[in-house]
């Protein structure tokens, strides 16, 4: 297995990875580079109880919660991490007296019924409760639970995620669409990181995401095999964290077999460990292109991985599947995750510097409108409006 070399010397400012690495012990520390408008009135400080069962594990929902906690703190509020166990949660409510409890939901991280039991405990203490639903499966038996009156609000990341919940009985007035934020990190000198990674004048392609079947990893490897004969010194850097899921491990073995059969061993550099997001973003910033060739899945969700890629400020290629449906001109879309389509898009963007520049500028504009500071402000406004 080829592991990427660690960055052992770099210039860091106080807003970068230094604070992130403390996030598992202190989720409320802020590393946001955005500042609230100087003329905006400062709202009354709210204490926000955050509940996420996957805290401390390699999980996108936990990463999201850490970003939210830091940004709430940076905006002058007090986030506190509340335990998920019944007794621990009740004690933490008494100790912290939050104004609102914010639950983070994904089907795989909650035991059946425990989210509603947690919400009901908070409601009995006269605390407002909101839940962010990070993924929606149409017709799933748990969806009806989101209509429980103990939940004062439901947050989703796109209108298309809201519609099945409303259809299945959640009052429309309780469903709120808040865009997923783009994180901001201190970016290094690209030339220094490229030199560190052994990238010369050739094209470097990046991939980021869990090693799962729908991520299009095999198709991306086949595309590299196609491009190898057309591009000098081509390299693929795959940040593909392998999980304990058997499907993830099986896919990684299949990917290694493809690399062996196609003679890609020297071209593909793997990192299968779960790396801190700021570190991944710094590596992705050194890439020429980032490719996320997902295949369609039945889950309605918005991709957090593409936000990480956008934070690297490099052109991003995606497929036209649901996880990217909330984006438009910020990414270069291809109709499907086929090796030929991926290879075509890479060659098209490589030969079109004006389009690469346009994509990066579109990402910068989107990130400015949807920074974590602004998204945290939207959360605060929602908390204050709960009835």
- How confident is the model over 269-278, as pLDDT tens digits? 999 999 999 9
Buried b (16+ CB within 10 A) or exposed e, 297-321: bebbbbbbbbbbbbbbbbbbbbbeb
Whether the pLDDT of residue 111 is over 80: the answer is yes
Asked whether the beta carbons of 205 and 287 are under 8 A apart, the reply is yes
Closest Cα partner for 269 from 278, 282, 256, 257?
256
Q: Among 15-29, 196-210, 272-286, 311-325, name the one with the lowest average pLDDT.
A: 15-29
How far apart (Å, rounded) are the C-alpha atoms in residues 195 and 121?
54
pLDDT at 21: 27
Q: Per CATH, which fold does 32-181+370-385 belong to?
A: Rossmann fold (3.40.50)
110 vs 29: which has the higher pLDDT: 110
pLDDT in tens, 221-270: 999 999 998 998 899 999 999 988 899 999 999 999 999 999 998 899 99
CA atoms within 13 A on the CB side of 382: 25
Report whether CATH 3.40.50.2000 matches the domain 190-369: yes
pLDDT in tens, 35-65: 444 434 445 889 999 999 999 888 889 999 9
**For residue 133, what is the enclosing H or E element?**
strand 128-133
Question: How much is the pTM?
Answer: 0.85
Count CB-CB contacts under 10 A for residue 60: 20
- Name every residue whose Cβ is closer than 8 Å to that of residue 240 and which is 6 or more positions away in sequence: 207, 208, 209, 210, 211, 215, 217, 252, 255, 270, 271, 272
pLDDT band at 14 (very low <50, low <70, confident <90, very high): very low
Q: Which residue would you say has higher pLDDT here, 23 or 130?
A: 130
Say whether 105 sits in a helix, a strand or coil.
Answer: strand
Q: What angle do CA 386, 65, 15 make, to 5 degrees?
A: 115
Chain region(s) in the chain for CATH 3.40.50.2000: 32-181+370-385, 190-369
């Amino acid at each position: 297995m080829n592991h990427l070399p660690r960055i052992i010397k770099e210039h860091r400012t106080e807003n970068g990875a230094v604070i992130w690495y403390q996030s598992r012990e202190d989720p409320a520390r802020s590393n946001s580079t955005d500042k609230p408008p100087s003329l905006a009135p400062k709202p009354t400080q709210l204490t926000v109880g955050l509940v996420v069962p996957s805290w401390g594990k390699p999980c996108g929902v936990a990463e999201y919660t850490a970003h939210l906690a830091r940004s709430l703190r940076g905006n002058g509020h007090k986030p506190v991490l509340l335990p998920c166990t019944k007794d621990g949660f009740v004690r933490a409510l008494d100790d912290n007296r939050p104004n609102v409890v914010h639950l983070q939901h994904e089907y795989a991280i909650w035991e059946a019924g425990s989210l509603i039991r947690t919400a009901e405990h908070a409601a009995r203490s006269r605390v407002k409760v909101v839940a962010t639903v990070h993924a929606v499966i149409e017709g799933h038996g748990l969806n009806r639970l989101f209509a429980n009156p103990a939940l004062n609000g439901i947050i989703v990341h796109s209108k298309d995620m809201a519609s099945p919940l409303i259809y299945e009985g959640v009052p429309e007035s309780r469903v709120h669409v808040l865009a997923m934020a783009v994180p901001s990190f201190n970016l290094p000198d690209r030339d220094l990181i490229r030199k560190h990674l052994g990238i010369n004048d050739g094209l470097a392609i990046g991939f980021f995401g869990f090693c799962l079947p729908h991520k299009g990893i095999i198709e991306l490897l086949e595309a590299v095999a196609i491009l190898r004969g057309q591009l000098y010194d081509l390299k693929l850097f795959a940040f593909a964290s392998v999980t304990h899921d058997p499907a993830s491990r099986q896919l990684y073995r299949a990917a290694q077999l493809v690399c062996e059969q196609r003679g890609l061993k020297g071209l593909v550099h793997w990192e299968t460990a779960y790396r801190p997001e700021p570190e991944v973003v710094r590596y992705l910033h050194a890439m020429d292109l980032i490719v996320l060739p997902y295949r369609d899945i039945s889950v309605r969700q918005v991709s957090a991985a593409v936000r990480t890629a956008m934070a690297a400020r490099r052109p991003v290629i995606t497929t036209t599947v649901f996880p990217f449906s909330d984006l438009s001109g910020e990414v270069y879309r291809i109709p499907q995750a086929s090796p030929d389509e991926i290879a075509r898009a890479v060659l098209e963007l490589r030969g079109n510097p004006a389009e690469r520049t346009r994509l990066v500028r579109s990402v910068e504009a989107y990130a400015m409108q949807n920074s974590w500071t602004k998204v945290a402000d939207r959360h605060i406004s929602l908390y204050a409006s709960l009835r």
